[in-house]
Chains A and B, each alone.
Chain A
Amino acid sequence: MDIEAIKINIGTEIQDLASLEALEELRVKYLGRKGVLAELTGSIPGLPVEARAAFGQSVNALKNKITLLIEEKKKLLAAPAAGGSAERVDIGMPGIVHEPGRLHPLTQVTREICAIFTRMGFSIIEGPEIETEFNNFTGLNIPLEHPSREAFDTFYLKADHRAPTTDHLLLRSHTSPVQIRVMKEKKPPLAVVVPGRVYRPDAVDASHSFMFHQIEGFIVDKNIRFSDLKGILEFFAKQVFGQDILMRFRPHFFPFTEPSAEVDISCVICKAKGCSACGRKGWIEILGSGMIHPNVFKHVGYDPKKYSGFAFGMGVERIAMLKYGINDIRLFYENDLRFLKQF
């Protein structure tokens, strides 16, 4: 056999081998007692004397090369597969992990909503849960003795005889008092969202709770228009409920906005055709909104001729219930881990 031919072929021959057994076979074939190289060595005596030394050296070089290649291949075959263990993995066994906890679904929804607005340049500002009558009612153009207040039934704090106060303290019945706080402190332009807890003396059932969460938002600047309110709220609702929802803005009444609008989205189940989920209406109310009333601006010292703005408010529980298909508001406050682990 031709030494040069062996040199050329041996490389690919070894590379193609897949097991240690096959490698051993190849070793015997070339380097074994009756192997190719032994045969070549055996042929030396039959060569002309002057050629023997050179031929012997070539055979030796070939032998060294083959030995080296076999050793390398042996190491390669014995090594474990890339990244894995040589042993078999039963991937059906439980994964090993330190399980993190989870945020409450109300926090998750609050963050999602706030994030949509902060991407548009809104700031997040919170306020206290104990409020004054002025911030909760009067400043927002809600007369203390008017039926419009009935939508805002309120828990009052028991007065303390030690601290006679001029303004009654109460638990805020909406997040809107933060509008008053922020506007009294800062000058326009303003774009703010206010997440927080609010309280109303409602008897508890599947859709009512005496404590719940709201997100308030408002913009004040020169030339803020009703069409801007529509644009911002449409962008928001489509981010939360999907691009294919339908929306409608219905005239409504809130003392602190005018014109006011309630915003409905098409029922996610029947797509505005009417089904049992939406009470056959086809529409589901998600928030209240409107152009900030000039009287509110007067209360905080803004010139209603110079500035305009809009405000909106929504119930976080309501949005979360719609989004996740939760049918009982009480589940939010029971904190059953089987519930919390679903979100």
Chain B
Amino acid sequence: MKLTYNWLKEFVDITISPQALADKLTMAGLEVTSLEARDGDTVIEIEITSNRPDWLSVVGIAREVAAVTGKKLKLPAVSGYPVTRLSGYPDLELNIENKHDCPLYTARIITGVTVKPSPEWLQRRLELIGCRSVNNIVDITNYVLFTWGEPLHAFDLDTLSRGSIVVRRAKMGEKMLMINGQEKQLDPGILVIADRQKPVAVAGVMGSKETEVSEKTKDILLEAAVFDPVVVRRGRQALGLQSESAYRFERGVDRENADLSSQKAVALIGESAGGRCVLAKHAGALKTPGKQVSLELEVLNSLLGVVIEPARVKRILISLGFKVSAKSKSVLTAGVPSFRQDVCLDRDLVEEAARIFGYDNIPTSLPAFVAQAQYINSSGDTDFIKDCLTSLGLFEAVTHSLVDDAFLRKSGISQAEPVALQNPLSEEQGVLRTTLIPSLLRCVAGNLNQNQGLVNIFEVAHVFSRAAGEVTEKPVVSFVLCGQRNFWLAQGRLQDEMGPLHVKGIIETIFSRAGIRDYGFRAQENCPEIEVLIKGECAGKIYMPRKDALEQFQIKNKKVFAAELSLDKLFAAADFKKRFKALAAYPAISRDVSLVIKADVPVAEILSAIKEKAGALLRDVSVVDCYQGKQIPAGFKGLTISCLYRSDEGTLAESQIAPLHAAASEVLRERFSAVLR
């Protein structure tokens, strides 16, 4: 809302500078967003909150200025036009189809006007607030709108079929060429003003081109009405139009202001365009039923945490236009003015008192709050995962949840049906993602472009899908590894190329810290995916995207390894309870087995064979070396496996271990034709 300093001064004495005024208004809830000195005046722009349509007028803001500066609002007496119909002038029928759509319609007919440019003061004032001057009639309707907040519309009476104005829903198939030159198809959701034959305006939004006031216009019909905010809003949205009138009708105009504003416009028209008001009619009640709201002062004081003197509260409410009476010492009753339809509850009065009293004058305190017995931290799980992954050298990414359907399919990763948006900004953000991996691959590509040698990133977020019509939303963690990690060690530089075992190592670390022991990995034949199992159930996958899929993401000549795990499944299996186990009382003895074995024998099978044979004294068995090369025949691999034996009964003697270790070694020879070294 734009207005000027001098314009305001017509309605209230202002003795402070525009800047001081702006600060006061801002601190009363009318945020002044700009002040601009122009042509000996100051243009003030204010952001008006949607609950206060009364502030969409100079008079409404002047009332607020009066309240915050302690001055009186000066409203000129209405120089009314008592005329209802001059004798001899034909009557006008006002036909309102539905009172809910249009609670009040007033019409005035003014004959013999001279349409010409507006007087200079009017042109300048409108121009200062960014409103284009059209002609004296149109400018006056706009001037009244900005000053009093009531949208008016003037029709060229000669373009209307005489004798009747109908406010009705549009019929299917009706069309209208609007004042802005656009032709619009109407439908029964849209409220129109019509004459006997045709719609002539979309109610509260915009008039038709055909009936607009032009230089040829002699007689005018001036409309001042109240339309249902929802109907105006639907019509404006359906037709894709914007107007100052619709902006006000949607927020709610003051019914008691409609006829008065019409009278003010008639007076101004008389001054600048001549003419005579020959008819004034209305349909619907001019007055609103009065509303009373009571306020217990104790409620006000205890809600704000400050005591405001009753007299002060009363004075504030009166300055804002309320009619205040004291029911008792502790209760005030406020008669709500018609322009304050937003005030319904005592809480609304508390806000008014607090606003004008000044939030700055309310002290600060801390609540005597009793903390809940049970503290909840629902983000604790994701915190755990994020901390785990950063400690392992991964960086956290945050990517958009809305993606392109085609982009999602590119990776070849997800088969789930995505959830589509009804009103996306563009196809590129048309669906909710079913997996985070494509988004992370895009981050990899971006970082490779910046010559990053290592891109290890993760994200924790929700994935969405539709299954059997039901929409599901699940938290997952995903990570991707790409490139080489350089280790600067005492021995010099070492390079570590990311691979699937790095992915495995990360998953195992998460599981180990989460107390998950029963897990495994299941590779599938001819499939670049490995299932991650928790208690035998699939909880996620390791992905090794194919070259062609990576090229879709502009990742060339690089391998990427990824994983996505369901956090629901992970945390269902997690056990964060820690229990102390007594430290081993007796020393362990370590024995290695070195062997050469066919390259395709899985290590997991070798280890389980050893465990099976070595018995309970074997406490740990792990691969400590794996090599292929010169000394090993083609198609074979050399393995060194470390076995750790320990007893809780006493120190083990060599004679106790030797037969166990021999049996464990022997089984490898028998079962896998391993050659022991």
User: Which A residues lie at the B interface, using CB under 8 A?
Assistant: 94, 96, 98-104, 106-107, 111, 114, 118, 120-121, 123-126, 128-130, 145-148, 150-151, 155-160, 162-163, 169, 171, 189-191, 195, 197, 199, 201, 203, 210-211, 219, 221, 223-228, 230-232, 234-235, 248-253, 255, 258-262, 291, 293-294, 308, 332-338, 340-341
CA distance A311 to B400 in the complex (A): 27
Known A225-B304, A308-B303; contact A337-B452, beta-carbon cutoff 8 A:
yes
Is the C-beta of B584 less than 8 angstroms from some C-beta in chain A? no
B388 nearest CB across to chain A (Å): 10
Known A190-B372, A333-B400; contact A145-B303, beta-carbon cutoff 8 A:
no
Are the CB atoms of A337 and B462 closer together than 8 Å? no
Are the CB atoms of A96 and B425 closer together than 8 Å? no
Are the CB atoms of A232 and B470 closer together than 8 Å? no
Task: Tell me the nearest residue of chain B to A99, going by C-beta.
Answer: B393
CA distance A261 to B462 in the complex (A): 32
Known A121-B372, A129-B473, A249-B360; contact A148-B51, beta-carbon cutoff 8 A:
yes
CA distance A104 to B396 in the complex (A): 5
CA distance A253 to B49 in the complex (A): 6
CA distance A249 to B359 in the complex (A): 6
Q: CB-CB < 8 A to A128: which residues of B? A: 462, 473
Are the CB atoms of A226 and B303 closer together than 8 Å? yes
B351's contact among A106, A121, A258, A333, by CB below 8 Å, is which? A258
Q: CB-CB < 8 A to B52: which residues of A? A: 253
Q: CB-CB < 8 A to B354: which residues of A? A: 226, 251, 259
Is the C-beta of B311 less than 8 angstroms from some C-beta in chain A? no
Is the C-beta of B17 less than 8 angstroms from some C-beta in chain A? no
What 1/0 mask marks residues of chain B from 380 to 405 whose CB sits below 8 Å from any chain A CB? 10010010011111111111111000
Are the CB atoms of B390 and A103 closer together than 8 Å? yes
Q: CB-CB < 8 A to B447: which residues of A? A: 335-337
Known A101-B456, A157-B422; contact A335-B379, beta-carbon cutoff 8 A:
no
CA distance A130 to B402 in the complex (A): 12
Are the CB atoms of B363 and A230 closer together than 8 Å? yes
Known A227-B305, A227-B362, A248-B360; contact A100-B391, beta-carbon cutoff 8 A:
yes
Are the CB atoms of A221 and B369 closer together than 8 Å? yes
Within B341-392, which residues are at the interface with A (CB < 8 Å)?
A: 345, 347-348, 350-351, 354-355, 359-360, 362-372, 375-380, 383, 386, 389-392
Stretch from B26-34, B270-278, B586-594 forming part of the interface with A: B26-34
Q: CB-CB < 8 A to B470: which residues of A? A: 163
Known A98-B393, A334-B446; contact A155-B50, beta-carbon cutoff 8 A:
no
Is the C-beta of B421 less than 8 angstroms from some C-beta in chain A? yes
The listed residue with most B CB atoms (<10 A of its CB), out of A123, A251, A261, A338, is A251
B450's contact among A223, A230, A338, by CB below 8 Å, is which? A338
Q: Is the interface of A mostly helix, strand, loop or mixed?
A: mixed
B417 nearest CB across to chain A (Å): 10
Q: CB-CB < 8 A to B425: which residues of A? A: 201, 203, 210
Count: A-B pairs, CB below 8 Å = 260
A139 nearest CB across to chain B (Å): 17
Task: Tell me the nearest residue of chain B to A291, going by C-beta.
Answer: B303
A330 nearest CB across to chain B (Å): 10
Are the CB atoms of B396 and A118 closer together than 8 Å? no
- What are 16 sample pairs from A and B whose C-beta atoms fall under 8 A apart? A98-B487, A101-B456, A106-B398, A120-B369, A121-B371, A145-B233, A148-B50, A155-B402, A189-B370, A191-B371, A232-B366, A249-B359, A252-B29, A258-B347, A259-B351, A335-B395
Are the CB atoms of B398 and A333 closer together than 8 Å? yes
Q: CB-CB < 8 A to A190: which residues of B? A: 372
CA distance A121 to B367 in the complex (A): 11
Are the CB atoms of B368 and A111 closer together than 8 Å? no
CA distance A143 to B267 in the complex (A): 39
Q: CB-CB < 8 A to B419: which residues of A? A: 130, 157-158
What 1/0 mask marks residues of chain B from 243 to 265 whose CB sits below 8 Å from any chain A CB? 00000001100000000000000
Within B191-241, which residues are at the interface with A (CB < 8 Å)?
A: 229-230, 233-234
Are the CB atoms of B423 and A201 closer together than 8 Å? yes
CA distance A121 to B443 in the complex (A): 38
CA distance A146 to B452 in the complex (A): 50
Q: Is the interface of B mostly helix, strand, loop or mixed?
A: mixed
Q: CB-CB < 8 A to B457: which residues of A? A: 335, 337
Q: CB-CB < 8 A to A249: which residues of B? A: 359-360, 362
CA distance A106 to B350 in the complex (A): 37
Known pairs A121-B372, A253-B29; list 18 more (Cβ under 8 Å).
Answer: A101-B394, A104-B395, A107-B396, A124-B379, A126-B378, A147-B251, A155-B421, A155-B422, A160-B466, A191-B369, A221-B367, A223-B368, A230-B359, A232-B366, A253-B52, A259-B355, A333-B398, A337-B455
Within B442-496, which residues are at the interface with A (CB < 8 Å)?
A: 443, 446-447, 450, 452, 455-458, 461-462, 464, 466, 468-471, 473, 487-490
Are the CB atoms of B372 and A228 closer together than 8 Å? no
Are the CB atoms of A146 and B229 closer together than 8 Å? yes
Is the C-beta of B306 less than 8 angstroms from some C-beta in chain A? yes
Q: CB-CB < 8 A to B421: which residues of A? A: 155-158, 171
Are the CB atoms of B424 and A155 closer together than 8 Å? yes
Is the C-beta of B302 less than 8 angstroms from some C-beta in chain A? yes
Q: CB-CB < 8 A to A146: which residues of B? A: 50, 229-230, 233, 250
Are the CB atoms of A227 and B50 closer together than 8 Å? no
A141 nearest CB across to chain B (Å): 11
CA distance A123 to B394 in the complex (A): 28
B489's contact among A96, A125, A145, A156, by CB below 8 Å, is which? A96
Q: CB-CB < 8 A to B462: which residues of A? A: 128-129, 197
Task: Tell me the nearest residue of chain B to A317, going by C-beta.
Answer: B398
B362's contact among A94, A230, A258, A308, by CB below 8 Å, is which? A230
A106 nearest CB across to chain B (Å): 6
Are the CB atoms of A124 and B469 closer together than 8 Å? no
Are the CB atoms of B450 and A337 closer together than 8 Å? yes
Are the CB atoms of A118 and B422 closer together than 8 Å? no
Task: Tell me the nearest residue of chain B to A261, going by C-beta.
Answer: B359
Q: CB-CB < 8 A to B304: which residues of A? A: 225-227
Are the CB atoms of B401 and A104 closer together than 8 Å? no
Is the C-beta of B1 less than 8 angstroms from some C-beta in chain A? no
B324 nearest CB across to chain A (Å): 19
Are the CB atoms of A211 and B251 closer together than 8 Å? no
Known A121-B372, A157-B421, A210-B425; contact A162-B468, beta-carbon cutoff 8 A:
yes
CA distance A158 to B420 in the complex (A): 6
Task: Tell me the nearest residue of chain B to A157, going by C-beta.
Answer: B419
Q: CB-CB < 8 A to B393: which residues of A? A: 98-101
Are the CB atoms of B391 and A227 closer together than 8 Å? no
B367's contact among A118, A171, A228, A338, by CB below 8 Å, is which? A228
CA distance A227 to B250 in the complex (A): 34
Known A157-B471, A210-B429, A231-B366; contact A340-B27, beta-carbon cutoff 8 A:
no
A149 nearest CB across to chain B (Å): 9
Q: CB-CB < 8 A to B302: which residues of A? A: 223, 225
Q: Which 8 A-B pairs have the closest CB atoms?
A: A227-B305, A251-B29, A225-B305, A163-B469, A121-B371, A253-B49, A162-B469, A259-B351
Are the CB atoms of A227 and B372 closer together than 8 Å? no
Q: CB-CB < 8 A to A123: which residues of B? A: 372, 375-377
Task: Tell me the nearest residue of chain A to B420, going by C-beta.
Answer: A158
Q: CB-CB < 8 A to A158: which residues of B? A: 419-422
A188 nearest CB across to chain B (Å): 10
